[in-house]
Structure 1
């Protein structure tokens, strides 16, 4: 099949997913902004190295948004069997493509938003017949929480493709089994994410400061990421700032720490949790993460912690650093087991089967 992807920026895990789809023999067109400066949201604070997508797909990277007419023409020449739109942020050109597709081309909207009953979401629900269903036949979601939102927008149970995001398990899933003694000896937490409000950088800074007051011999905190709230963590005792780190470097860091922390106020999904579990780490994860239900079980491989509650986060960090080596080893094994429920290979086979089935219908 021939599948076009309209996105808002490439990441290591997206490249891994696309690569597996190409290995199945499918031809891909990937349309993306070509630099962080023209990307949106999370992509603005990233600068990924060359991800090799052009070696297995037709890659259209732009530095200014292509005109609707130009992009429609480019996708038409590709002659796709399906088009997958993973961003609303370039509405004019991307929506024009989706509306121009002839009958028989499967139109997929990737959405990771969580239903929060916000006024804008109620408006979207009220106008979904015209704004959403005019450009998409199917919604593809990463979690049950996103599926709830898709259903609120009018997508039926047969109109949802599940499992839209996966960590690159070839990168994060390798290495030997983590022993409890090794994890206990590392004595460090790891945060990977943008240093912005919705990622909970403020909660992380305050909770880690409070955690150090609660325990006699605190673990250190490794911080990977960039953003305007950098100053809340920089120069804080026990904190090491790494800036932006490429995926391979993050994978290496995850093998040198004891626990991953994801304290976001709002986390539509959270691929970093999948990366951490694949690396055999216990995880402290915000309850506002779509990934939490599938990959974090209280006491089995970490804890789900209420978003925004500094004292709860400090207590959870103390709870983890007080675990015995035997408990940490058990948590590591559960994390590894849970992480295998999804992979780029599973994602690629699922996408191909879902599109083929819908084309046949």
Structure 2
């Protein structure tokens, strides 16, 4: 056997010690989740990111180290240019960033393993039945040794795309319970609905505001707080019970959740919905459209109402239903929300990463 073949076999059989994560628009919650891996993993952990649209104050402080910032469009991104060796295990944030694809290919060519991080969720659409499986089988599956997904709907999607169930792990997303927590008992909080997100068409925020106006004609004891920025802000109706504010830094947002009763997320499309996890960590109830991916993991009969997406009347009916809850129901909702919230966050994220390492090491 020649030396080149021996070297190649040595590379493909090396155990996982060094890890790297690549995250698009690196958010604070991702930094906090990766920090849990850094604190537990004995080897090197590096983080590559494209910059978030809304800058997060102290994000690198949450991570505990500097981020290697890249241009996501750079199809020639290279580990050497980043000042590091290719890792033994690379968690690649999606397959739509040219820079991440380049780093993933270079990692595999060096003998490393690559895990796809994706928040695609199963909705049973015609495209998901016919087009997506072909794309994954023909172009994507051979590039990845595993798939890291947020929750149940992501697992279903990955398995439908042909990835082996033994290589798919949940826990990709999750807010930090040391930040989102506490608050007064849910039944004693102000009667306030809360929306957090971009003010864009896919979030259906204008329909939510319109539904609230109809609702408030009968229930003027409730208010709606909208936190976010985007092109649809000027289309929101002006109403004395609707408060609109820009995006808030995480610590400020945590205080807002602690003083709200129910998060409303009326999205037309929502792969998972981290904001839903922030809400249940804070004890809030949930009113979610049926397409929100996190509903499968966080919404139960005790703490939530689900409604048809894009339907103003359906949203208004959901608001009326939640507003009718009595004290016992609010107590049940808070208890259930805090219970399901424990399934996600930095520790479950780090546990999943450890599972990937154990699984891939066992195959070497």
TM-score range with shorter-chain normalisation? 0.7 to 0.9
SS in 2 for 1:260: strand
Distance 1:347 1:158, change over 3 A: same
Aligned residue among 204, 207, 212 for 1:203: 207
CA distance, structure 2, for counterparts of residue 157 and residue 315 of structure 1: 38
Distance 1:205 1:112, change over 3 A: same
Shift of the alpha carbon at 1:352? 1.9
User: Match of 1:335?
Assistant: 337
User: Match of 1:59?
Assistant: 67
SS in 2 for 1:293: helix
User: Match of 1:43?
Assistant: none
TM-score, structure 2 normalization? 0.87
> Does residue 243 in structure 1 map to residue 259 in structure 2?
no
User: Match of 2:231?
Assistant: 228
Deviates more, 1:248-257 or 1:1-10: 1-10
User: Match of 1:280?
Assistant: 283
User: Match of 2:351?
Assistant: 349
User: Match of 2:49?
Assistant: 32
Point out where structure 2 has 5 or more consecutive residues left out of the alignment.
1-16
Task: Please tell me whether the aligned partners of residues 305 and 318 of structure 2 are also in contact (alpha carbons under 8 angstroms).
Answer: yes
Distance 1:253 1:218, change over 3 A: same
Question: Which digits, 9 at most, give the CA deviation of each residue in 1:54-85, with x for residues without a partner?
Answer: 863452113x4474444243468334121011
CA distance, structure 1, for counterparts of residue 269 and residue 86 of structure 2: 38
User: Match of 2:5?
Assistant: none
SS in 2 for 1:83: strand
Task: Please tell me whether the aligned partners of residues 19 and 53 of structure 1 are also in contact (alpha carbons under 8 angstroms).
Answer: no
> Does residue 15 in structure 1 map to residue 38 in structure 2?
no
CA distance, structure 1, for counterparts of residue 219 and residue 73 of structure 2: 57
CA distance, structure 2, for counterparts of residue 56 and residue 102 of structure 1: 30
Task: Please tell me whether the aligned partners of residues 288 and 307 of structure 2 are also in contact (alpha carbons under 8 angstroms).
Answer: yes
Deviates more, 1:310-319 or 1:233-242: 233-242
Task: Please tell me whether the aligned partners of residues 138 and 159 of structure 1 are also in contact (alpha carbons under 8 angstroms).
Answer: yes
Aligned residue among 249, 267, 270 for 1:267: 270
User: Match of 1:316?
Assistant: 318
SS in 2 for 1:172: coil
User: Match of 1:187?
Assistant: 191
CA distance, structure 1, for counterparts of residue 235 and residue 180 of structure 2: 29
SS in 2 for 1:132: helix
Shift of the alpha carbon at 1:237? 3.4
Task: Please tell me whether the aligned partners of residues 280 and 336 of structure 1 are also in contact (alpha carbons under 8 angstroms).
Answer: yes
User: Match of 2:13?
Assistant: none
Task: Please tell me whether the aligned partners of residues 77 and 103 of structure 2 are also in contact (alpha carbons under 8 angstroms).
Answer: no
Shift of the alpha carbon at 1:155? 0.4
Task: Please tell me whether the aligned partners of residues 109 and 139 of structure 1 are also in contact (alpha carbons under 8 angstroms).
Answer: yes
Aligned residue among 86, 94, 98 for 2:100: 94
CA distance, structure 1, for counterparts of residue 307 and residue 192 of structure 2: 18
Shift of the alpha carbon at 1:278? 0.7
CA distance, structure 1, for counterparts of residue 202 and residue 95 of structure 2: 19
Aligned residues: 344
Shift of the alpha carbon at 1:104? 4.8
Deviates more, 1:27-36 or 1:334-343: 27-36
Task: Please tell me whether the aligned partners of residues 260 and 284 of structure 1 are also in contact (alpha carbons under 8 angstroms).
Answer: yes
TM-score, structure 1 normalization? 0.88
When Rg is computed on C-alpha atoms for both structures, the one with the higher figure is 2
Task: Please tell me whether the aligned partners of residues 79 and 85 of structure 2 are also in contact (alpha carbons under 8 angstroms).
Answer: no
Shift of the alpha carbon at 1:134? 3.3
Query: What is the root-mean-square deviation of aligned Cα atoms in Å?
Result: 2.2
Distance 1:54 1:290, change over 3 A: closer
Task: Give the 5 Å matches for 1:40-51.
Answer: 46-51=54-59
CA distance, structure 1, for counterparts of residue 159 and residue 72 of structure 2: 30
CA distance, structure 1, for counterparts of residue 128 and residue 348 of structure 2: 34
Aligned residue among 107, 110, 114 for 2:117: 110
Deviates more, 1:80-89 or 1:13-22: 80-89
User: Match of 2:151?
Assistant: 143
Question: Which digits, 9 at most, give the CA deviation of each residue in 1:176-211, with x for residues without a partner?
Answer: 56252x12xx01111001111111213212211221
Shift of the alpha carbon at 1:118? 4.8
